Every structure is written in C-alpha cells, then in structure tokens.
Amino acid sequence: MILESHPAGGRLRIAVLAHLHHPIAPPFAGGMESHTAHLAAGLAARGHHVTLFAKEGSVAPCRVEPVLPQSYAVAGYPDSDGRNRQHEALDGAMSRAATSIRAGSYDAVLNNSLSPVPHRELVGIPTLHVLHTPVLPRLADIFGAPAWEPDPLHRHVTVSHANALEWRRWLPDIEVVHNGIALENWGTGVEPVPGTAAWTGRITPEKGTHLAIAAARATHTKLQIAGPIQDAEYFRALIEPELDRDVTYRGHVGQHELGRMISSAQVFISSPLWEEPFGLTTLEAIACGTPVAALPGGAMAEIINGDAGVVAHSRDAAALARAIIQARDLDRAQVRNSARAYSLESMIEAYENRLAAVSAVRPGPQERHS
C-alpha cells in the first residue's frame, strides 16, 4: 500500500528502478548506470529512504534489492527468438520489482529503466518516469494504444530538449532535467599533450568509434579510446584492426584514470551516429576543460556551446576532422566554465522536487486498489 503521509522532515520513501542490463557499480557500463548510481546516492544523502531495485552486483549507499542474477548476460543484438526470450527474462525481473513496490510502503517511484513494465504495472502509484532514450518501440506500443491515457499519478521527464521532441507526440507535458555530474571530480590539473585526442563511451556502432579514428588520422592526431566493448563483432571488425601506436585502446577504466586520460588530451572526440539523448561523456570532457569536437545529432548542439567545442556540420569523418582542428585550441578555462550549468547537485535537486510533487498527488480509493 502507499502511505497517506510522508516521514518526518519531508523525507520520502523512494523506490528506484534501474535499467537491468548491467549492475549499478563502477566502472559503469554506460551513462544510465552512472545516472542511476548518482541519483540513488544523492537522494539517500539528502535523508530520503531509498531502495534500489537492480541487477545483482549493484552497489549503492542505500538498500539494494537484486531482481536479476548477475550471471544473466544481456545480448546487444540478438535475433528475434533471442530478443523475445531476453524480453521475457528482463520483464519478469521488472515485474517482480513492481510487485515488491506494490507490497511496500513507498511514497514515490523513480523509474530509471527502459522497461515497459512500470508503465503497465505501477498504475495508481505515484511514479516519475525518466525517458533516457529516443522513442523505443515497446514504449511506443503502450503510449500509442488507442485507449491509452496518461496516469494522473505519473509524470515524465527526459534528459534534453532534443530528446523531448519526439516524446511530445504522446507526452505533451514531458519535462526536461539535464544530466549532471560531480564537477569537482573531473579535471585533474594534468597538462594537455598537443596532437592528442580522447574518445570514451560504449563501443557500439551507434557511438561511431570508427569515425572518431578516421577523423583523428585525418588530422594526424593520436587517439586514446576507453570504454566497455558492448558489440564484440563491431570491435573486432572495425576497431581492433586500427589499433597501433597512434590509436590505442585503454580498456574499461575507472573514473580516476578516465579523468586523467581526458584531461591530458588536447581535444575530446564525440562521434554519435544516432540521436544522442544527452552525451554524458561529452559533459565529462567539458568539465575536464578539454574542448569537444562532435558529430551533430540529438543533444550535441544543446550541451556544446561555442566556448566548449565545435559541432560538425555533417555526420562524416571529414566534417569531424574539421571540427577537431577548430576545437582543439579553444580556451580550456572557458570550456570548463561551460560545465557549471550541469552540476550533480542541481540535477538531484530537480529530481527531488519532482518526486515530492509526484508523492503529494495522493490516489483515491479506486486508483489505490486498481
């Protein structure tokens, strides 16, 4: 059941639903895992009673409820049968989390997953849904159903104005809460090495690592790459053959090493080939004071202003190479100053305020027992 009053001091009982592909533990598999970890920790630090529903192996300074074994491996691009089996496993785990939430005493739910299950199974429960990606087919099936109407106890946010555009087809009231990072943890005082670049993130086709390599070579720039290999075939076919003295792969490294690597680069390359919803690694580079050369798409132009870097005019290696040349000598103090609008504190406060607003809309008897 959902209690009718909040704990003393305005503290909320918050259930956080994580994306279940990876444990919420460093080194983070991607931006969603990092976002979930910092949100759960930040809300707990503000005195709220937080329970994180996540894959086994997750680590957080709050109560953690594992709902999927750590041994369950999520395939990146399975065939139809494999995808259906994977959906069944992931949906089953998320459904177990929803059942626990319904049986618990939570004031609000923060749905930080990409699952359709919370939209179906948390009806009548105050829930803040965070939509981290462009529109996904399984969510579009829910929102596009003829009889679907927004639950009055649910609110929706996304991470950039660019990403909100397509969602507004079904969710005209969707709000934007930009991602934030602990700015003080980025920027190590390491001097940049002329003629060098860094690229970090998930190594998958949509992240365009191969184009970053091509652009670096076109500008005679040495490139260091770091991040988890999430598409092994892509890595073997297009990335590994390019590795040499000028293009090196550092592996999936921790934050401290990552910060030193980015800070030591003259330029950071961001090469999304999809509509990038935000670009957390790009923000980390800006916070290090490392100017960014980026392909256009999604939120790149939204977070990279003229002081922070250069967004290419087209999605090809030649345009990205020109952006590298234009960006690499930008003033690093001005680059770093551009990150101040994206602090972790402001992000957590924005979510805290929205969770308080969601929890204040109390269900009536019919909604509560639906």
Please give the Cα distance from 1 to 270 (Å, whole number).
46
* φ, ψ for residue 55, nearest 5 deg: -70, 145
* Per-residue model confidence as pLDDT tens digits over 340-367: 999 999 999 999 999 999 999 765 544 4
Structural domain boundaries enclosing 165:
8-180+344-368
310-339: buried (b, 16+ CB within 10 Å) or exposed (e) per residue?
Answer: bbbeebebebbbbbbeebbebebeebbebb
* Residue 2 domain flag: no
Please tell me whether residues 352 and 337 are part of one structural domain. no
Please tell me whether residues 199 and 165 are part of one structural domain. no
Please tell me whether residues 31 and 154 are part of one structural domain. yes
* Residue 242 domain flag: yes
CA dihedral defined by 303, 31, 194, 301, rounded to 10 degrees?
A: -20
Please tell me whether residues 206 and 335 are part of one structural domain. yes
Please tell me whether residues 108 and 150 are part of one structural domain. yes
Number of domains making up the chain: 2
User: To the nearest whole percent, how much of the chain has pLDDT over 90?
Assistant: 88
Alpha helices in the chain (DSSP H): 31-45, 80-103, 117-121, 137-143, 161-167, 209-218, 232-234, 255-263, 280-288, 300-303, 317-327, 332-337, 344-360, 365-368
CATH number reported for the structural domain that contains residue 199 in this entry: 3.40.50.2000
Q: What sign does the CA torsion over 245, 255, 229, 138 have?
A: negative
Please tell me whether residues 160 and 197 are part of one structural domain. no
Please give the Cα distance from 349 to 355 (Å, whole number).
10
194-213: buried (b, 16+ CB within 10 Å) or exposed (e) per residue?
Answer: eebbbbbbbbbbebbbbbbb
Average pLDDT, the chain: 93
Chain CA centroid to CA 181, Å: 11
**β-bridge pairing 175-176 and 247-249:** unpaired
Please tell me whether residues 317 and 357 are part of one structural domain. no
* Residue 1 domain flag: no
**Which range among 26-35, 71-80, 124-133 shows the weakest confidence by mean pLDDT?**
71-80
Mean pLDDT for 194-214 is 97
Please tell me whether residues 19 and 146 are part of one structural domain. yes
Please tell me whether residues 281 and 268 are part of one structural domain. yes
**Residue 105 C-beta-side C-alpha neighbours within 13 Å:** 6
Please give the Cα distance from 209 to 235 (Å, whole number).
9
CA dihedral defined by 361, 362, 366, 370, rounded to 10 degrees?
A: 80
At 4 the pLDDT is 37
Please tell me whether residues 334 and 191 are part of one structural domain. yes
**CA nearest neighbour of 150 among 365, 369, 361:** 361
At 30 the pLDDT is 87
Please give the Cα distance from 153 to 169 (Å, whole number).
20
**CA nearest neighbour of 132 among 348, 277, 15, 301:** 277
At 353 the pLDDT is 97
User: To the nearest whole percent, how much of the chain has pLDDT over 70?
Assistant: 95
At 6 the pLDDT is 44
Mean pLDDT for 324-336 is 97
Residue 304: its H or E element:
none
Please tell me whether residues 211 and 131 are part of one structural domain. no
**CA nearest neighbour of 100 among 57, 47, 43, 54:** 54
**Which range among 6-10, 50-54, 221-225, 233-237 shows the weakest confidence by mean pLDDT?**
6-10
Mean pLDDT for 228-250 is 97
Residue 267: its H or E element:
strand 265-270
Q: Is the pLDDT of residue 15 over 70?
A: yes
* Per-residue model confidence as pLDDT tens digits over 100-117: 999 998 999 999 999 999
Per-residue DSSP letters for 12-64? Answer: -EEEEEEPSSS-S-SSPSSHHHHHHHHHHHHHHHTT-EEEEEEETT---SSEE
At 81 the pLDDT is 84
Please tell me whether residues 155 and 192 are part of one structural domain. no
- Other CB atoms within a 10 A radius of the CB of residue 219 amount to 19
Q: Is the pLDDT of residue 84 over 80?
A: yes
* Per-residue model confidence as pLDDT tens digits over 157-203: 999 999 999 999 999 999 999 999 999 999 878 999 999 999 999 99
More confident residue, 360 or 1: 360
Please give the Cα distance from 28 to 231 (Å, whole number).
16
* Residue 293 domain flag: yes
User: Does residue 284 contact residue 304 with C-beta atoms inside 8 Å?
Assistant: no
- Other CB atoms within a 10 A radius of the CB of residue 73 amount to 9
At 363 the pLDDT is 58
* Residue 3 domain flag: no
Q: Is the pLDDT of residue 10 over 80?
A: yes
